[in-house]
Chains A and B, each alone.
Chain A
C-alpha cells in the first residue's frame, strides 16, 4: 500500500475527505527528518511530551458516558510511563523510530490540529503501521517463526512509532491502579480456580 492509497482508505473510513488542514499537514509527512544522534540518551522536549500525552489520551480517553465512567490515559499517568519505558526498556532502534514518529507529529503541527484532524492523523498512522507490521510478519514467517513477538524486535529497524505508543499506552493504563479498578474486576488473591459461565456484560478479571 502506498501513501496515496493509505490516505484514500483513511478518508473513506472517516466518512469523507480529509479537511484542508489535515491534508496540508500531511504534505509535511515525508519531509526528511533529522535522525537522532547515536549514543545520546533518550529524552523528550516539552512539546514532544505534550504530543505523547495527547496521543495517549486519544487512544484511551477519559469517558463519562453513563455506562462507562472511567479515567483517561492522562489521568492515570500514562504519558510519563511511556517516556520512562522508552528510556529504560528499549534499545536504540525503538528509541529512534519513536523519535522519528514524534518529529513527524511536530512537522504536521499535531498540537495545532482539532480533535477530528488529530484522529485523522492517527488513522493514517494506524494504516501505515499495519502495512509495515504485515511486511515484518512475512519476513518472520520466512524465518520459520511467527509466535514469539520478542523476535519482531530483532529486525534491524525498530518497531514503528504507532505500535510502540499504542502498546505502552495500553500497558500503562491497564496495569495502573485506577485503570485496573475502573476497567476490570480486580482480584488480588483468587483462592481457587474454576470454570464459570460469563454473565452478560461481565468485565474481565484482573489479578
Chain B
C-alpha cells in the first residue's frame, strides 16, 4: 500500500491547551479512513492542520511526497487534497449550478486566470460536467435555485458535489452527516459508497458510529489530542483502550 498522506509527530497548542500531541497517521491510497473521537478530541484541528488553515507547532504533513506545512490553502487544493466542511460552506447567493461551476473552474483555470471576455454561458463542457455532477447527487432539479435557499441536507449534498467535481486525490470529509435525519444519513452513506465516491481516497471525521462502521476500511481513534489506536473496524471494536476512552461511554449512536 502506498501512503498518500503522512502525518508525523504533529503537535498543536492553543495557549495552554494541547490540542494535538504527537499525532502520527498514514492514509493509504484508495482507502476510506475514519477518524473518530469524543468532542474536543482534536479531530477538526487535525484536519485544519492538513489543509493549511492551521500550522502545526512541529511535526510534518506530507501529501503525495510533498510537504504541506506552510503551503497556501489554494495550493493545497490544487495538490489534490480537498475538504468538505462540517457546516456547509457554499456560495449562498449563487445558483446550485454556479456553486459547482466554481470548483470546476478552479480545476481548469488554476489559482488565478484573468478571463473577463469569456462567456460563462458558452462554457459547454464545464457546464455539462457540472450538471452531471449535480445529477449524481439528485440536485439537477434545483440547478437554477439559490444555494442559500436549500435545505440543510441538500446543502451538504451540494458540498459533496463541489468536492467531487474537482476529482481530488484525497477527500477530507468533516462530519458529513452531522445534524441529518436518519433517512438523510443513510442516503449520504449510500452516496459515499457508490460510484466515483467509492474509489476515492477519503478521510472521514465522524461522530456517528453507524456511519463509521458502514464506510470505513480503517479507523483511527483520537482522544485528548492523541491517536490511541488505528486498525480495521473489527480491531477497533474490540480494542480495550478504545472501549474505555470512547465506546465505553455509551455513545453508540
Answer yes or no: are A and B bound together in one complex. Answer: no
A residues contacting B by CB (< 8 A) are: none
Interface residue ranges, B against A (CB under 8 Å): none
